[in-house]
Amino acid sequence: MKIRLSEAHELQQIQKQRVEAYEEHARKLSADHWEGLRSAISSGFGEDSGAEVLVAELEGKIVGSVVLYPGNIDAYKGLFTVSAHPEIRMLAVDRQARKQGVARQLIEECIRRSEGRGYEYIGLHTGEFMEGAIHLYEKIGFEHQPESDFEPVNDGVIVKSYRLKIR
């Protein structure tokens, strides 16, 4: 498996794959929450803020992606305070490629890049309904930061904050 920066011509494919990967959670959410999430994961990638879109390529096919936002950038467009450390966002793996270590390798690349830039921590936020993702993050060593949780749509669904010490 190869982890690399995405190319401009791949961004539409990445957005489509991301929505398909997240659709399994739609039934767990209110219609308003799903539409908000869908809009967020379908939006631009924050290239103007210095965010990097990384892809996992297996046998010439993109099987996953993630966006790594640098520190001190509003990665959540006003929903959460600006973090001093990098943030992992919009991690998605094609359903056919799950259980092959794709998500872990994308996360590890984000950690390597952040550590190489001298950051002490890396963070992320994830919906409390994403049990599989939470399990993976905790297995890697991310710790829940409840004081940084938020509720984006006022429907009782909490977006949980996690952080990993990398230095």
pLDDT(47) > 70: no
Structure confidence by residue, pLDDT tens digits, 28-38: 888 888 988 88
Q: Phi, psi at residue 10, to the nearest 5°?
A: -95, -10
At residue 43, the pLDDT reads: 75
Torsion sign over Cα 20, 32, 137, 3: positive
The domain made up of 2-165 has a fold known as: Aminopeptidase (3.40.630)
Reported pTM: 0.90
Pairing of strands 143-144, 52-58: unpaired
Percent of the chain having pLDDT more than 90?
Answer: 68
CA torsion angle 31 32 36 39 (round to 10): 60
